[in-house]
Each structure stands twice: as structure tokens, then as C-alpha cells.
């Protein structure tokens, strides 16, 4: 719905009211009600969009729990997408935690019990050989962004199988709200290859395949068939890989990134998000990026993705690859990542350094003396009082990023980070925390949310019709985001801009990504005279059309 439509081309009556893309609810004018067979099907008063928004917000705030608020918003999205996005955009700081992390994690855990209406496509192992046919069942033909998951590593919650569909749905809601990708251009997909979640396998209401997760050739065949079908049915689409397990995420990215417009948000988007926060944090802590020593807790997709991105930025600033990787240290389930280990996965090898084994994270902090610690393993309370006090003794302004989602998986809380560092920590988290008051000071921590990165990167790729998404694009996105952190943000201790500015930030990132696509010959359209103006012109605005 990109503009006005003729009444003769629309469904009529109840069918129109049940079409979430075209429905205006009580905002249908009197004339439209006559032309479209709506007279009597709606209350007599014609409401303005602002009046509708007021009603939605009032009802939302009357709900008792965040899960109830999530369900209320999903129901609104199912019946009136324009109003849904108007409300989300105008109240983004309040609503993003409801439609995405942390609440979406809870929604995924209960997905089979709260399921209401279908949204997105489910492609299971049983559909091998018919994937293209399934994708042709999607009602909207001009798909530009596909977010796909196999549900194995949903946030920090693990294998949720088909119940992980809440993540692609939520991510695509952010593509529209944060970057203006039109709702009909978005397609959430879940590849259902089973689950190893015992609770789900024993749940009579679980909606996915009742079998253990496939690991063999059948899995690869389904993914390959999906990739080919996506290219054939939706040739202008970008594919975002989301929440795949470590055993598949890195290899699928390596396999397909040079074949189509594709990226993995958990690896590349998280890397750019964290690099941006680190760059902004150095404006408070002082020092250069190439002088930092970062100690990670967790060496999965997020950790290695962040390490790769930080190393790439350090190389860009003059370090050799070996020097850059030596500035990043990892602590995983086996302790400190060192060269003495056997069977180190290839993605970890650049970060395996010569050092004595250490199996205690607090001890690793004491010995390695990092300037920044980054948590991304989904293990709550691992940034202990001992860890944070050691960081504070060794650094005037210790950088502490507790990035695991949802909130219950955070390595520490904002209160703990500030309190145990005597208010000197530069703190960011994956899920939001309330402001913290210590004495006369109030600290407002930044939320290291990938929503600052992936919508803008996707928008730039879509508008330029780029054939690839490159690492250079993510480095550029990180720099653009860091530059949008202003002195007011820093004075509060926040290393990310206010969420209220996220559409502006996404447009700036998209313009830089598109510029790279044009410059590198990846774009399938001619470069416009004003790239940023062109980006903004393509951004969806939640405005009702007039049905003439």
C-alpha cells in the first residue's frame, strides 16, 4: 500500500476490515464507508489516527504484564498494520522492549500456547522438494527482506525449534519501524528441522515437528533449496540469517555470502553494534582503539563476530592482522582460548593466543588486564563483584558490555556495574535497564541493540539493490552509529543514541551502505544525485491512504 488506491480495486465490507494492510478501522471516512460497503460495520464516529493511537496506548498501558502487552500489540498488527507502526514509531522507547528483546524471548518460549494467527512461512523437512511452491503461497510478490531462522539459538534461550518464529517476526517489525521497509516487503521464515528441546518434544501443544533436530545432509539440502527458491521467487530480496546454532551459522555465512545478498545478524550485525559502542566509549575513557585489550566471555557467533569486527577496525587503523587479533582474548566453556587446545573451530583460531591455561574468568581479568570486557554467552551473573572491582582497580573508566539477551541472561545488571565500579564503569547491555542513581549521580546506560544496525544496513542494500552485503558496509555502519552519540548521551553515560532517533540513524547508515554499493559496482540501479534524500524517499510512513 504505497499510495492511494481505487475503491473498485479493493476488497469490500468485512473482507476489507480483515485485511491488515488496507484496514483503517474507525478512521474510514463517511464517504469511504459508503463506497466500500462498510456502513454499519463500524461504530458511527470517524476517528482520526491520533485518536486511534491514544486508544491503543491507553489499552496497552492497562495490561498487567509485558507478555499481555506483546499479545495486544501482535493483535493490533494482525488487524491494522498502519496503526500498529504509527504507535510503535511514536513510542519506540516504550514499545521496542515489548515487540523485541526482552519480551519476545518470553513470547517464543510460550509461542505454541499463545499462537493466534499465522504470520510468515514455515518450511519443514517434510517440505523438501516443494519449497518454491510454498514460497509462492506468500500473498505479497515484492518481497525485499527475508529474515530466516532454524530456531536453534534463540537469544540466550537455546533451541526453541519452530517456536523461534517470534524472532523473524520481531526483527521484521523493526525493519519497518526503524528503517521504513514497507510491511508487505517483509517475509519471516522458519526452517523447521526439529528441536532438541525436551520440554517442547513432550508438550502436546508444540506446533513444530515432533522430532529431534536434523544435523545431516537433509538439513543442508533444505537450506540449499530455500536459498535457491528465495532467489527465484523473490529475486530482489535480501536474506538475513538469524539465530542459527554455532555449528551452522558460520559455515552457512561462508557458503552463501558471495552468492546472493545475505548476511548473518548475530555475527555481523552484533559485531558492528559492539564496535560502535566501543568507539563511543573511548570518548569517555580516552585512548585509541588500537590500544584496547578486550576480554570476551563467550566465543559463539556474537563474540567471534564482535572480535572480527573490532580486529578489522584496528587493521584499518594501522595494525597488522596478528596485532589486531592479539588485542582480543576469549574465554569460553573450556576457559581461556589458547593455542594449546585441540579441536579449536576455524572461526576461533585467529583468537587463540599463546598463554597458560586459565579456567576462572575473574583470574583472566586480573592477569590479562583488559580495558574492556564483553559478555555474550547467555550466562547470567558472570560479571561478578570480583570481576567488576578488578576492572575498576585496573582502569579509571572500565568498559563493561553485558550484551546477552534477554535481561535474565545478562552478565550483570546496570546497578551492579555502576555500584561495584564506584560509578566509573562505561556500561551497555543487550536488553534495557532502568536508570541507576548512586549518590547525587544518575546513570542512563545504553542498550547495545542490533536494531541500531541491521535495519539501516538492510535499507541501504534494498534501496541500492545491492547484490551483496560486505564487511565494509558493517564497519561503515558502526562508524555512522558511533558518530550519532552526542555529548548529552555521553554525559548520561550512554554510548548509543536515544532510541527516539533510530529512524534518523537508520537513514544515515543506509545512505553510507548504499554509497558503498554504488562505489563498488554492487548496485543494480543508477546512483541518485542525493543518496540520503533518495533513502528517505523510500522509507515507509504509517499514513492512511485515501480510497478514491
Q: How far apart are CA 348 and CA 307, in angstroms?
A: 10
Question: HSE of 510 in the Cβ direction (CA atoms, 13 Å)?
Answer: 32
Identify the DSSP state of 30: H
Q: How far apart are CA 339 and CA 351, in angstroms?
A: 9
Query: And the C-alpha cell for 272?
Result: 558492528
Of the residues 70, 85, 171, 348, which is catalytic? 171
Query: And the C-alpha cell for 277?
Result: 559502542
Place of cell 574468568: 361
CA 91 to each of CA 48, 94, 281, 345, 501: distance values in angstroms, whole numbers, following the listed order: 18, 6, 27, 43, 11
Q: How far apart are CA 224 and CA 232, in angstroms?
A: 12
The question of whether 171 is a catalytic residue gets the answer yes
User: What is the C-alpha end-to-end distance of the chain, expressed in Å?
Assistant: 14
Place of cell 527516539: 500
**Pairing mode of beta strands 441-443, 446-447:** unpaired
Contacts of 125 (CB under 8 A, 6+ apart): 192, 193, 194, 209, 214, 218, 219, 222
Identify the DSSP state of 267: I
The alpha-carbon radius of gyration of the chain (Å, integer) is 24
Q: Residue 101: which H helix or E strand, with range?
A: none
535, 459 in Cβ contact below 8 A? Answer: yes
| Phi and psi angles of residue 466, each rounded to the nearest 5 degrees, phi first | -70, 140
CA 127 to each of CA 122, 152, 231, 245: distance values in angstroms, whole numbers, following the listed order: 9, 19, 18, 21
61, 55 in Cβ contact below 8 A? Answer: no
The answer for 287, left when phi > 0, alpha when psi is -120 to 50, beta otherwise, is left
For the range 412-418, what are the long-range contacts, defined as Cβ-Cβ under 8 Å and sequence gap of 24 or more?
Answer: 412/375, 412/381, 412/382, 412/383, 412/384, 412/388, 414/443, 414/445, 416/383, 416/385, 416/388, 417/383, 417/388, 417/445, 418/443
Of the residues 70, 85, 100, 418, which is catalytic? 100
Q: Residue 189: which H helix or E strand, with range?
A: strand 186-192
- Catalytic positions, written as ranges: 100, 171
Amino acid at each position: 500500500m504505497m499510495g492511494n488506491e481505487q475503491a473498485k480495486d479493493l476488497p469490500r465490507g468485512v473482507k476489507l476490515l480483515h485485511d491488515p494492510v488496507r484496514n483503517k478501522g474507525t478512521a474510514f471516512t463517511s464517504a469511504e464507508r459508503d463506497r466500500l460497503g462498510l456502513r454499519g460495520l463500524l461504530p458511527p464516529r470517524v476517528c482520526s489516527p491520533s485518536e486511534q493511537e491514544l486508544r491503543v496506548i491507553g489499552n496497552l498501558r492497562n495490561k498487567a504484564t509485558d507478555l499481555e502487552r506483546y499479545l495486544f500489540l501482535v493483535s493490533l498488527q494482525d488487524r491494522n498494520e498502519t496503526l500498529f507502526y504509527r504507535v510503535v514509531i511514536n513510542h519506540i522507547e516504550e514499545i521496542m522492549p515489548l515487540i523485541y528483546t526482552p519480551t519476545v524471548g518470553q513470547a517464543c518460549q510460550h509461542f505454541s500456547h499463545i499462537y493466534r494467527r499465522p504470520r510468515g512461512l514455515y518450511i519443514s523437512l517434510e517440505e523438501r522438494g516443494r519449497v518454491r511452491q510454498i514460497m509462492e503461497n506468500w500473498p505479497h510478490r515484492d518481497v525485499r527482506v527475508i529474515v530466516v531462522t532454524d530456531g536453534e539459538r534463540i537469544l540466550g534461550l537455546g533451541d526453541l525449534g519452530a517456536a523461534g518464529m517470534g524472532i523473524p517476526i520481531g526483527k521484521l517489525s523493526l525493519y519497518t519501524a526503524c528503517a521504513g521497509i514497507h510491511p508487505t516487503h517483509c517475509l519471516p521464515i522458519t526452517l523447521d528441522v526439529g528441536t532438541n528441546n525436551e520440554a517442547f518434544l513432550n508438550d502436546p501443544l508444540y506446533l513444530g515437528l515432533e522430532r529431534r533436530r536434523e544435523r545431516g545432509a537433509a538439513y543442508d539440502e533444505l537450506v540449499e533449496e530455500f536459498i535457491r527458491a528465495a532467489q527465484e521467487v523473490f529475486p530482489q530480496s535480501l536474506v538475513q540469517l538469524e539465530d542459527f546454532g554455532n555449528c551452522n551459522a558460520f559455515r552457512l555465512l561462508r557458503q552463501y555470502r558471495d552468492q546472493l545478498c545475505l548476511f548473518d545478524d548475530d555475527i555481523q550485525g552484533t559485531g558492528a553494534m559492539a564496535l560502535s559502542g566501543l568507539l563511543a566509549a573511548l570518548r569517555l575513557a580516552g585512548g585509541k582503539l588500537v590500544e584496547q585489550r578486550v576480554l570476551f566471555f563467550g566465543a559463539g557467533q556474537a563474540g567471534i563476530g564482535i572480535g572480527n569486527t573490532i580486529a578489522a577496525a584496528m587493521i584499518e587503523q594501522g595494525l597488522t592482522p596478528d596485532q589486531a587479533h592479539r588485542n582480543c582474548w576469549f574465554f569460553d566453556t573450556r576457559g581461556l582460548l589458547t593455542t594449546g587446545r585441540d579441536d579449536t573451530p576455524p572461526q576461533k583460531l585467529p583468537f587463540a593466543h599463546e598463554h597458560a591455561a586459565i579456567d576462572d574468568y575473574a583470574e583472566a581479568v586480573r592477569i590479562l588486564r583488559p580495558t574492556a570486557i564483553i559478555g555474550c554467552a547467555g550466562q547470567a551473573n558472570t560479571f561478578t563483584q570480583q570481576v567488576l572491582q578488578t576492572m575498576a582497580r585496573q582502569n579509571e573508566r572500565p568498559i563493561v558490555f553485558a550484551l546477552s539477551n534477554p535481561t535474565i541472561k545478562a552478565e550483570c545488571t546496570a546497578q551492579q556495574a555502576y555500584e561495584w565500579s564506584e560509578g566509573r564503569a562505561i556500561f551497555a547491555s543487550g536488553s534495557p535497564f532502568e536508570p541507576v542513581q548512586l549518590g547525587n549521580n544518575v546513570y542512563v546506560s545504553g542498550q547495545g541493540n542490533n536494531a541500531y544496525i541491521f535495519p539501516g544496513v538492510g535499507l541501504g542494500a534494498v534501496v541500492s539493490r545491492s547484490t551483496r552485503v560486505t564487511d565494509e558496509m558493517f564497519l561503515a555502519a558502526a562508524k555512522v552509529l558511533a558518530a550519532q552519540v552526542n555529548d548529552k548521551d555521553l554525559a548520561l553515560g550512554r554510548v548509543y543514541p536515544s532510541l527516539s532517533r533510530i529512524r534518523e540513524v537508520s537513514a544515515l547508515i543506509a545512505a553510507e551502505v548504499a554509497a558503498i554499493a554504488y562505489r563498488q559496482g554492487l548496485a543494480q540501479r543508477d546512483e541518485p544525485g542525493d543518496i540520503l534524500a533518495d533513502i528517505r524517499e523510500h522509507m515507509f510512513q504509517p499514513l492512511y491512504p485515501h480510497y478514491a
